Structure 1
Amino acid sequence: MSGVALNSAVKRYGDVQVIHGVDLQIEDGEFCVFVGPSGCGKSTLLRMIAGLEETSDGNISIGGRDVTRADPAERGVAMVFQTYALYPHMTVEENMGFGLKMNGHPKQEIKSKVAEASRILKLDDYLARKPKALSGGQRQRVAIGRAIVRGPEVFLFDEPLSNLDAELRVDMRVEIARLHKEIGATMIYVTHDQVEAMTLADKIVVLRAGHIEQVGSPMELYQNPDNKFVAGFIGSPSMNFLAARVNGQGVIVPGLDNMQVPTDVALPAEGSEVIIGIRPQNLTVREAESPVRIDIRERLGGVAYDYLISANGERIIVETRGDEAIPEGTGVAVEFDPATAMFFDAKTEARLR
C-alpha cells in the first residue's frame, strides 16, 4: 500500500501562508498530476510530501504511516527534478546505482536493480556512457532510473520535462506513461502544462494560490469544471469567455452582435451579468455582415485556429478544419449549439448549473 493522504496541510514562510489547508487523497498506484499557473504552490506541495519543505500545520501520510515530521530518507519516496543532477564523471550505470552504493547495498543487488531499471527505460546501450554523451531525453531517463532502483513507495516528479524541446517532451511523456503502466507505482507529477496533465493523469489536482480548485479525472475536469478558472485552464486552446446578460430563458451576448442564447441552466435574476464559456471546437463561423471579424489565422496542418475580435473587443478562438478559409479581416457570424455552452457567475466565477 503506497497511497498518499494530506489532511489540512498548511505551509507558511514566516507570516506568509502559501498552502492553505489542503485535503487530498491519492490512491495506491494512482498517477496524480498537480497542475496550475506559476506560483500556485504545486512544487511546494510536492516538496512537502517529499520532506524537503517542513509542513507548518496538518499532517501527511504515505502508505498509512504519518510522515509529517519524518526525514526525506524515511518516507519511501524518490524524486525526479527538473534538472537531471547527474554526476558528470560517472557512467550511466554508476549514476543509477550510486544511491544504493552509498547506503551499503551489495554489489550484486545494485547490479541487478540497475539492470532492471535499464531494461524498463531502454538504457542498456548507454550504461557505459557518461552524461555528456547523452541527449537531454536520455539524461532524464537516467535520472528516472536512479529513482527506480531505490524501489520507492511513491515517485515524485517536479516538472521533469520542462528542459526538453517539444519533440523530446512528447517522447518522454509517452515513456513516463509506459513506465507507470509497467511498474504500477504511485506517482505524483507537477507541471504547468495542462497537455501533460490531460495525457498522463488518472487524477488531476488544479491549484491556484495555494488552494485546490478542483480534483478529478482529466475528462471530468474538461467536461464538468466547477468554475471559470478550471474551465479555462483545462483544454487547449483554452475556453472562450464572453460577457453576457440574463434575458428571459437565456442570455444575451453583446460581443456576438447581441445573440440570444437559450439555456435551462439556473440563472440569476433578469438583467444580471454572467459569463458564457464556449470551447473553440464547438464554434463555427460563416461570412456575414457583422461587427465580429477574423483578426488572425494560425494554420497547423490539418487544423487551423481563427482568432476573432468580438463586437466589444473580446478575443474568440475558433477551431476549423479543411482547406476552405475565410479571409482575415472578414466579418463573420459565430454559431454554436447552446447545449455546449457553460455559464459562470460574473462575480464569483462559480459554474452555474
Structure 2
Amino acid sequence: MSGITLRGAVKRYGETQVVHGVDLSIADGEFCVFVGPSGCGKSTLLRMIAGLEETSEGSIHIGARDVTRLDPSERGVAMVFQTYALYPHMTVAENMGFGLKMNGVPKAEIKAKVAAASEILKLDDYLARKPKALSGGQRQRVAIGRAIVRGPEVFLFDEPLSNLDAELRVEMRVEIARLHKEIGATMIYVTHDQVEAMTLADKIVVLRAGRVEQVGAPLELYRDPDNVFVAGFIGSPAMNFLDGRIENDAVHLAGLPPLPVPGAAGRSGPVTVGVRPQHIALEPGGDGYLVELTESLGGVSYLYLRGADGSRLTVEAGEEDPIAEGTPVGLSLAPDRVMLFEAETGQRLRG
C-alpha cells in the first residue's frame, strides 16, 4: 500500500484553470474524502490522481514514485465510478475478473482472486448471475470487487453511491467503511454529501472553486472551521450565520443581550456570527423570532425561525412536542458555543 502526495497540482483547460496549486498529503492506509459543492474540482482532482486527466503543473506521487506523467495502468490505482459500468452479458464472476483476463493472468489465479473479493463483499451467492438480476447495491459491490481483484495500491471512488436510494446509500456506506478496515488500503472518496464525508473519512479535504479550503479530521473541521464556507458546509443542518457587531469586547446581535464571545476581546466592528442549530436555546413566551416551519423527525425536531430583522435561523429541538408554527419565541446563545468570522473575508476570528 502507498500514500499519496500532491505538490502544486494545477489543472487547466485551455485558458481556464480549474484546480489551483493543490498541496496535499494522504498517508498510507488513510481514508480521505474530497468534499465540496458541484463544480469545486473534486472529481477533476481525483481523475488527475488516476491519470484520466493530465496534470498541467505540479507533481503527483504514489508512494515513492512520481506518477505525474504515467498512464493510468501504470499507477497502481483502481477506480470505482458513479455508474457501475458492468458488462451486461457477463456474469458477476466474469465482470470481476475481466481486467485480469485481459492482462493475461492465469485462470486459476483469476478464480482465486475473484473468490477472495467475493467473500469480502458477500457476493458468493451472486457469482453466476448477470447484472440485470442484481439490485443497485449489489451492482455497486460488483464494481468494487472488480477493483479489489486488481490488488491496487490505491482505491479511488468517484461519487459511487449517488445512484442509490437513501436506504441503500446507508447500507453501502457501512460496506465501504468495513471494506477499508478489512483491507487497510489507501482510499480517496469523492462526494458532495457531507454526511458521507463525516461518517467515512479519516481525513476530509474541503474544496471550493478548485482550491483547498481546509484539511482535517471530520470532528476537527466541525468543531474548528477556518472560515464561513467550511463552517456552513460541514454539519447537518448547516450552521446559522447572523450579522453582528463587536463593541466593548462583546458581540451585539439584534434582540439579544451582549455576548462576551471568545475572540471578541480587543476587536471592534462588523462580524459574522455562526452558531449551530443544537446550540440555540428557545425561550417560549419571548419575542424577536417567529416559528415559520416545524419539521418533526421523531427523536428530533427542526424549527425554522424568522427574525424581526428578516434573519432566518434553524434550531434543533429534542423529543418534546415541537413549538407550533406561528408562535413567537425568544432565544439565547451560550457565548462559548458561538463562532466569529470576519464580515468581509469570512475568515475565522479565534480568541
| Distance in 2 of aligned mates of 1:100 and 1:267 | 64
In the alignment, which residue of structure 2 is the partner of 1:337? 334
Alignment of 1:1-353 (within 5 A): 1-254=1-254, 257-266=255-264, 269-270=267-268, 272-353=269-350
For residues 282-314 of structure 1, give each alpha carbon's deviation from its aligned partner in whole angstroms, at most 9, with x where no partner exists: 112122341311100001111000000122112
Show structure 2 runs of 5+ residues with no match: none
8 A Cα contact 1:19 1:211, kept in partner: yes
Higher mean C-alpha deviation, range 241-250 or range 185-194: 241-250
8 A Cα contact 2:305 2:314, kept in partner: yes
Change (3 A) 1:92 1:269: same
| Distance in 1 of aligned mates of 2:264 and 2:305 | 29
Higher mean C-alpha deviation, range 215-224 or range 305-314: 305-314
For residues 35-80 of structure 1, give each alpha carbon's deviation from its aligned partner in whole angstroms, at most 9, with x where no partner exists: 0000000000000000000000000010110000000000000000
| Distance in 2 of aligned mates of 1:259 and 1:314 | 17
| Distance in 2 of aligned mates of 1:183 and 1:328 | 50
8 A Cα contact 1:87 1:95, kept in partner: yes
- Which amino acid is the alignment partner of residue 265 of structure 1? G
8 A Cα contact 1:267 1:352, kept in partner: no
State the TM-score, normalizing by the size of structure 2. Answer: 0.98
8 A Cα contact 1:240 1:278, kept in partner: yes
State the TM-score, normalizing by the size of structure 1. Answer: 0.98
Q: Secondary structure at the match of 2:83?
A: coil
Deviation at 1:247, TM superposition (A): 1.6
| Distance in 1 of aligned mates of 2:271 and 2:263 | 12
| Distance in 2 of aligned mates of 1:341 and 1:196 | 26
8 A Cα contact 1:246 1:268, kept in partner: no
- Which amino acid is the alignment partner of residue 6 of structure 2? L
For residues 58-105 of structure 1, give each alpha carbon's deviation from its aligned partner in whole angstroms, at most 9, with x where no partner exists: 000101100000000000000000000000000000000000000000
8 A Cα contact 2:246 2:264, kept in partner: no
| Distance in 2 of aligned mates of 1:352 and 1:122 | 49
For residues 128-153 of structure 1, give each alpha carbon's deviation from its aligned partner in whole angstroms, at most 9, with x where no partner exists: 00000000000000000000000000
8 A Cα contact 1:294 1:308, kept in partner: yes
Higher mean C-alpha deviation, range 333-342 or range 150-159: 333-342
Higher mean C-alpha deviation, range 149-158 or range 328-337: 328-337
Higher mean C-alpha deviation, range 310-319 or range 99-108: 310-319
| Distance in 2 of aligned mates of 1:283 and 1:266 | 19
Show structure 1 runs of 5+ residues with no match: none
- Which amino acid is the alignment partner of residue 226 of structure 1? D
- Which amino acid is the alignment partner of residue 46 of structure 1? L
Q: Secondary structure at the match of 1:329?
A: coil
| Distance in 2 of aligned mates of 1:83 and 1:7 | 30
Q: Secondary structure at the match of 2:262?
A: coil
Q: Secondary structure at the match of 2:258?
A: strand
8 A Cα contact 2:294 2:322, kept in partner: no
